[in-house]
Amino acid sequence: MQVQYYALDLTCPICGQEKTVSIPESLFSEKKYGHIKIQVPQGAVCEDHVFVVFLDVKGRIIGYETVDLSITAPSEEIYEEEALETGILENFVRNLGFKCVAGLIHAKLFNYPMYLIVNKDSNINIVEINKILDETMPEQYKNKRILRTIEYNKNIIPTATYFYSLVKNQKKTAYLLNLRKHIIQTPWDTGYDLEKNFIASALGKEDKSEQLKFISFYISKFLEDVEKTKIIVEPIKKISGKDLVKKLKEIAITSTVTKTYVSFIKEFIRRKISPEIAKKIHD
């Protein structure tokens, strides 16, 4: 008998790397209720991490769980890991998921409504989450969009993915995620690269107490490049993305002006400044 495979778009909850992985369909065919738990080995999605993905019986992702590798790590490493203090950003990413956090920063900066789906007995502090999110923002973006929660009651709707589809239907322009580090809806199509880079760079800073401030610093630089783009684009009729990359490279604050970077700038101009100016930038 031929084995049927099912393509699954997985995201590492720890570092945000993404990969499509084939899973044998037979995993789902035998189960009618509940969820399926698959341990994703190191190297399958990213080089460094082992994690667990939860699927419903139809093979749709419900969420992720991180696996504590320190159990199997050599004792010396455990000692070193414990000796280092965990930073707020590190903890934030660990609790909510790398890509989820990138999306929260994006939603806040680009002004999308955002909701975290929680259970009745979820032990989360939404005020604290919003406080940390605010700290990643430059002054003018603090306290603008806040993350709100939607409560999911398993007793009323037993299938989580069905509940998600109801929420999606109601909130078509919102960024939706759950506490299992899974993004349920992304209302923009530029992706997550900009914010993922911000987080990765900030996490690389040695002074952990300053990591959140670094993100707001990177955002400020991005906003300066938005202003520079405005100066280039405003007086002309239209410009191709490729030409804009070239022109921006001469005056930009960031050293890595790419097509992707420009697509984020265009999206920011469209949402926050002027759709007319954004329209002048074409592919």
Choice between 54 and 64, CB closer to Zn ion: 64
Query: Smallest distance, Å, CB 128 to Zn ion?
Result: 25
Concatenating the DSSP letter of every residue in 166-214 gives: HHHHH-TTSEEEETTS-EEE---SS-SHHHHHHHHHHHT-S-GGGHHHH
Contact in structure between 102 and 196 (CB atoms under 8 Å): yes
Choice between 47 and 80, CB closer to Zn ion: 47
The verdict on 99 binding Zn ion (CB under 5 A) reads no
The verdict on 102 binding Zn ion (CB under 5 A) reads no
> How big is the site for Zn ion, counted in residues (CB under 5 A)?
5
Buried b vs exposed e over 227-245: b needs ≥16 C-beta within 10 Å? ebbeebbeeeeebebeebb
Choice between 14 and 67, CB closer to Zn ion: 14
- Residues 36-95 within binding reach of Zn ion (CB under 5 A): 46, 49
The verdict on 15 binding Zn ion (CB under 5 A) reads yes
The verdict on 101 binding Zn ion (CB under 5 A) reads no
For Zn ion, which residue of 8, 10, 14, 114 counts as binding (CB under 5 A)?
14
For Zn ion, which residue of 8, 10, 11, 12 counts as binding (CB under 5 A)?
12
Query: Smallest distance, Å, CB 116 to Zn ion?
Result: 22
Query: Smallest distance, Å, CB 54 to Zn ion?
Result: 17
Choice between 199 and 252, CB closer to Zn ion: 199
Choice between 21 and 57, CB closer to Zn ion: 21
Residues near Zn ion (CB under 5 A) are 12, 14-15, 46, 49
